[in-house]
Amino acid sequence: MNKKEKKFYTEPVEIEIYLKKAGIVRTIIKDLKIELVEVVPPHEKSREIFELFESMNEPIDLMEVQNHFPQYIRNIYESYYKNMELYEKLSMHFKSGLAGINDSWRSALYFTELLLKYEPTVAATEILGNFNTYNLNYIINRLNALGEKFLIEDSTVSYLIRRKRDTYRDARPDREVDKLVELWEYNVRGDKD
């Protein structure tokens, strides 16, 4: 994947418009394009791991990390033993997806969204880096390249928006994107009332 080319997740946003002359309300859908901010490994250990999986053009599979970097098995187990079954299932979906079974990427996406909720761990902080976000970006990019339709959880959309805002904090605001984010946030809050 070309690192210089920006990649996006597209979230549909419903907008209700009142047509005064007709006296009716219409709902239109606009696409909120959220840039997938590249994950930068924070230290040498994570840089090694990221570089290995990037060179293979694969997601960072926790099971394979342990195979390639056995020195980290204990640390990984201590941080992830409660969710190891989920990581094993995720690993199977990664392998199936890489073998050409496109539906596996959708399942991998949902597992990754779930596992993101348990981060950060000590192993992620000290060794792995933000590998689940790397995987989230990787899977979204893969599904986009395959032309697959998919949606992610509202909490994951919020997470991606937050990452983009943090990255471009000092940049000039994009009013159209900011307005769509505001409408999306309003719609999400409205669903919870």
29 lies in the same domain as 101: no
Q: What is the pTM of this model?
A: 0.92
89 lies in the same domain as 45: yes
125 lies in the same domain as 86: yes
179 lies in the same domain as 117: no
71 lies in the same domain as 29: no
Cα-only R_g, the chain: 19
28 lies in the same domain as 4: yes
111 lies in the same domain as 22: no
193 SS3 class: coil
45 lies in the same domain as 61: yes
What confidence tens digit (pLDDT) does each residue in 43-83 have? 999 999 999 999 999 999 999 999 999 999 999 999 999 99
The domain total for the chain is 2
pLDDT in single tens digits along all 193 residues of the chain: 445 678 999 999 999 888 888 889 999 999 999 999 999 999 999 999 999 999 999 999 999 999 999 999 999 999 999 999 999 999 999 999 999 999 999 999 999 999 999 999 999 999 999 999 999 999 999 999 999 999 999 999 999 999 999 999 999 988 999 999 999 999 898 755 4
Q: Which domain holds residue 141?
A: 41-152
Q: Are 68 and 155 in contact (CB under 8 A)?
A: no
The helix-helix angle for 154-167 and 175-192 (nearest 10°) equals 150
Separation between Cα atoms, residue 25 and residue 91, nearest integer Å: 47
E strands, 20-167, where? 24-35
Nearest residue to 14 via CA among 192, 165, 186? 186
65 lies in the same domain as 30: no
147 lies in the same domain as 160: no
